Amino acid sequence: MGTTDRSLSADLLVIGFGKGGKTVAGTMGRLGQRVVLVERSERMYGGTCPNVGCVPTKALVHHSRKRRAEDVPQEWYERSVGEVQALTKLFRGGNYDGLNDMDTVAVITGTAAFTDPHTVSIESGDGRLTVTAETILINTGSEPIVLDIPGLRASQYTVTSTELIDMTILPGQLAILGGEYFSMEFASIYGQFGSQVTVLEAAPKVFGLVDDDVAAVAEGILVDEGIEIVVGANVTEVRDGESSATVVYEKDGRQHTLEADEILAATGRAPATGGLALDTAGVRTTERGAVEVDEQLRTSQPHFFALGDVNGGPQFTYISLDDSRIVLDQLLGEGKRSTADRVAIPHAGFFTPPLATVGLTEAQARAAGHRVKIASQPVAEITAMPRAYIVEDTRGVMKFVIDAETDEILGAALLSVEAQEMIDTVALAMRHGIKAAELRDAVYNHPTSTEAFNDVLATIVRADT
């Protein structure tokens, strides 16, 4: 199969080279199905994660932490960006070759728009191509949101996360609009590289996904590293100067200004459906622009599925991968898997140390009517966790929310070295009904971070009576 044809007929058409879509495409291609995968950007083979998301940002976390005091910030940053770009290029090529080298799969770089429920017209470097398919997957992901603040979108100093990690000049003064996990990761990264970083968040606190006690520790770690965090900040205007921008914001009824070499708009991501002409295909979207799907990820057209960020679900690569399992179960299996099967899905913010969470917070558990007991300890006081001392980072806290009557683990927040790995153990325990006492008394390898559970879960610091 090739793009020299003016028209193609396929069993499966996948629009967007994300994790879920490429997994289904590869599986169906290996089974002999004729597959066409369309990706609009040659820089996005493999999707957000290996190109502009998880891989490059976490690689930058790694490189930023390796910088020594004697390393010149700009030189270290520029070299780091180069090494990270080489890594993403390697992953991108592997993703492309892994599919395009299959005789049954054609990868086409171009912009697709629907002309009817089974047909797309693709504008590519080889001209116009028409593809007709029996089954269609939408996997176009999401794109950064730049709020409609006066002067922000027009400013020459405003960048998205995709643009910032592609820059080889380290910002002297970096303003970050938004205090979500992703924003705080960037604050940590660029602060370590040597930028002066200010985070402006409209909400009363950052780290809003965790309880106040855990959030305070996480915020304190970043503040101690030199990050300025301003909460309750309502940005009202951005004004460009000759070499920097002025960010105007209101806090506590007073107006403030901040000078910045770059302004990172990090206020979330929206489903990327523009230009697809989904209405022409009879595919409904939600008010937020996501493709409307049921629990099997089927759209308003029964032969259409939507996977990953574009369907409005949680914006994580591992969710997109699970989406592929649901769709493959529809196409090849018994059709029983659904999004309702997902229980105890973990999440991690890759600050240093990382903050990983699963399940309910204490506030959520109480609001849901649970009687709870809380096990919580600062990492520095967990005697069963010498690993933290070995790697010279004892910052953080671990907190478990436990049902006081059943000993069921309702949720956990782990702010510590290797928390991104430990949270998967907690999530697995929650999914299989393993009680807190079992996790507390388990035998763990040594010296590891996971053995901290022996100590933390033995310390019930608060319990409802």
pLDDT of residue 2: 46
pLDDT of residue 27: 97
What CATH number corresponds to the domain at position 174?
A: 3.50.50.60
Q: What are phi and psi of 101, to 5 degrees?
A: -75, -10
Residue at which a domain ends, from 225, 248, 267: 267
Residue at which a domain ends, from 251, 267, 283: 267
What CATH number corresponds to the domain at position 360?
A: 3.30.390.30
List pLDDT tens digits, range 112-166. Answer: 999 999 999 999 888 899 999 999 999 999 999 999 999 999 999 999 999 999 9
Largest CA distance in the chain: 73
Least Cα distance to 131 among 31, 283, 281, 274 occurs for: 281
Q: What are phi and psi of 362, to 5 degrees?
A: -60, -45
Residue 454 lies in a domain: yes
Residue 445 lies in a domain: yes
Burial of 329 (0-12, 13-18, 19+ CB in 10 A): middle
Do 331 and 352 sit in the same domain of this protein? no
* DSSP-assigned letter for residue 292: P
Do 58 and 128 sit in the same domain of this protein? yes
Residue 2 lies in a domain: no
pLDDT of residue 382: 96
Output the CA–CA distances (angstroms, integers) from residue 58 to 19, 176, 182, in the order listed.
18, 18, 11
Other residues' Cβ atoms within 10 Å of the Cβ of residue 247: 27
Do 135 and 31 sit in the same domain of this protein? yes
From the list 62, 118, 256, 446, the catalytic residue is: 446
Residue 430 lies in a domain: yes
Mean pLDDT by 10 residues, the chain (465 residues): 69 96 97 96 84 89 92 95 94 91 94 96 90 97 94 97 96 96 94 97 94 97 97 97 97 97 94 95 95 98 97 93 97 96 96 96 97 97 94 97 97 98 98 97 96 96 74
Q: Which residues fall within 8 angstroms of residue 135, CB to CB, at 6 or more apart? A: 11, 12, 13, 303, 304, 305, 331
pLDDT of residue 1: 46
3-state secondary structure of 33: coil
Do 276 and 247 sit in the same domain of this protein? no
Domain extent at residue 207: 158-267
Q: Is 451 left (phi over 0), alpha (psi -120 to 50) or beta?
A: alpha
pLDDT of residue 465: 61
Residue 150 lies in a domain: no
Do 335 and 363 sit in the same domain of this protein? no
Query: How far is Cα 273 from Cα 282, in angstroms, rounded to an integer?
Result: 14
Do 352 and 409 sit in the same domain of this protein? yes
The yes-or-no answer on residue 347 being catalytic is: no
Residue at which a domain ends, from 267, 292, 321: 267
Do 121 and 190 sit in the same domain of this protein? no
Do 199 and 258 sit in the same domain of this protein? yes
Q: Are strands 7-15 and 35-39 parallel, antiparallel or unpaired?
A: parallel
Question: Which value, to the nearest 10 degrees, does the dihedral of the CA atoms of residues 154, 275, 299, 289 take?
Answer: 20
Do 384 and 320 sit in the same domain of this protein? no
Read off the tokens for 125.
């470097």
Do 137 and 279 sit in the same domain of this protein? yes
Residue 151 lies in a domain: no
Residue 43 lies in a domain: yes
Residue 1 lies in a domain: no
Which string of DSSP letters, residue by residue, matches 179-214? Answer: -SHHHHHHHHHHHHHT-EEEEEESSS-S-TTS-HHH
Query: How far is Cα 291 from Cα 286, in angstroms, rounded to an integer?
Result: 6
Least Cα distance to 382 among 444, 463, 434, 433 occurs for: 444
End-to-end CA separation in angstroms for the chain: 68
Q: How many domains does the chain have?
A: 3
pLDDT of residue 50: 84
Do 335 and 389 sit in the same domain of this protein? no
Burial of 424 (0-12, 13-18, 19+ CB in 10 A): middle
Do 185 and 232 sit in the same domain of this protein? yes
